[in-house]
Amino acid sequence: MSTRDLKGLYSALLVAFDENGNINEKGLRQIVRHNIDVCKMDGLYVGGSTGENFMLSTEEKKRIFEIAKDEAKDDITLIAQVGSINLKESVELAKFVTDLGYDAISAVTPFYYKFSFDEIKYYYETIIKDVDNRMIIYSIPFLTGVDMSLAQFGELFANPKIVGVKFTAADFYLLERMRKTYPDVLIFAGFDEMLLPATVLGVDGAIGSTYNVNGVRARQIFELAKQEKISEALEIQHVTNDLITDILDNGLYGTIKLLLEEAGVEAGCCREPMKKYSPEMRARAKEIYKKYF
């Protein structure tokens, strides 16, 4: 098991696809390098929502995990998101990425079906049971519909292999309670637009999609907040949130890829049924890039 410190800032890694929806290996490698060399991230969160993971086959997921690890080597901490409502696939991927040398695994709460908490707990324990690795719960209720209580999180954290949570929710009361109740658990903020208040509440790091392009500002917010320079951090959060608003208005993942393209990175297309880039979307991305970078 890796003993690398998992704290810090992670980009939720984008994946480059060609116009036919195939993995663009060259582009993916460039995105990894951009995150390491330009955005100066502490780590990469591979296989999450930002990587369009839930539209991929098992073999495609494995290939992305391989490419990311091969390009990053040991330059950066790597967390692999292996969650799926196909539990056998999650178990297979957990073993696969552990063998590749990923520093931790993560799994989204099982979604679509209304699973009971006992079923959710079984899911996590089954994924982690036979691998020598650490698990980060991926809690994102607004997409999964799965809300867990403080006590339920505590039941999961009772497993020594379950060491943290990617907390992508706006419930900062729950976040504060979790930080106070479980001081030794790793908590990662999952909403880029709320990095400052999450840092004030004591998160250990953050995992975000916009960090693929906005990692430098994210670092400034995170470090200034930890130094209690709140007004300075807030000014950068304001700029960051203006950027996020413009990105969301133009199409989240596609616009981040187009911004990377402006930075010289072959970030490619999004996987269908996500929309293809229109001339208007491309033009707006150019405007956004000139405004913020």
Residue 185 and residue 147 in contact, taking contact as beta carbons nearer than 8 Å: no
Angle at 287 between CA 44 and CA 283, to 5 degrees: 95
Residue among 261, 252, 245 nearest 52 (CA) = 252
Query: Exposure of 193 by Cβ count < 10 A (0-12 exposed, 13-18 middle, 19+ buried)?
Result: middle
Tokens read off for 205: 């790091």
Query: Exposure of 1 by Cβ count < 10 A (0-12 exposed, 13-18 middle, 19+ buried)?
Result: exposed
Q: Which residues contact 267 (CB under 8 A, 6 or more apart)?
A: 14, 16, 27, 30, 31, 256, 257, 258, 260, 261
Residue tagged active-site, from 10, 166, 253, 257: 166
CA distance 274 to 111: 20
Angle at 256 between CA 47 and CA 72, to 5 degrees: 45
Annotated binding-site residue? 192: yes
Annotated binding-site residue? 50: yes
Residue 48 and residue 83 in contact, taking contact as beta carbons nearer than 8 Å: no
Annotated binding-site residue? 205: no
Residue tagged active-site, from 45, 102, 124, 138: 138
The yes-or-no answer on residue 73 being catalytic is no
Residue among 248, 242, 220 nearest 233 (CA) = 220
Annotated binding-site residue? 70: no
SS3 60: helix
Annotated binding-site residue? 193: yes
The yes-or-no answer on residue 166 being catalytic is yes
CA distance 246 to 192: 14
Annotated binding-site residue? 49: yes
CA dihedral sign of residues 264, 21, 192, 95: negative
Could you list the residues known to form a binding site for aceneuramate, using ranges: 49-50, 168, 190, 192-193, 209
Could you list the residues known to form a binding site, using ranges: 49-50, 168, 190, 192-193, 209
Residues serving a catalytic function are 138, 166
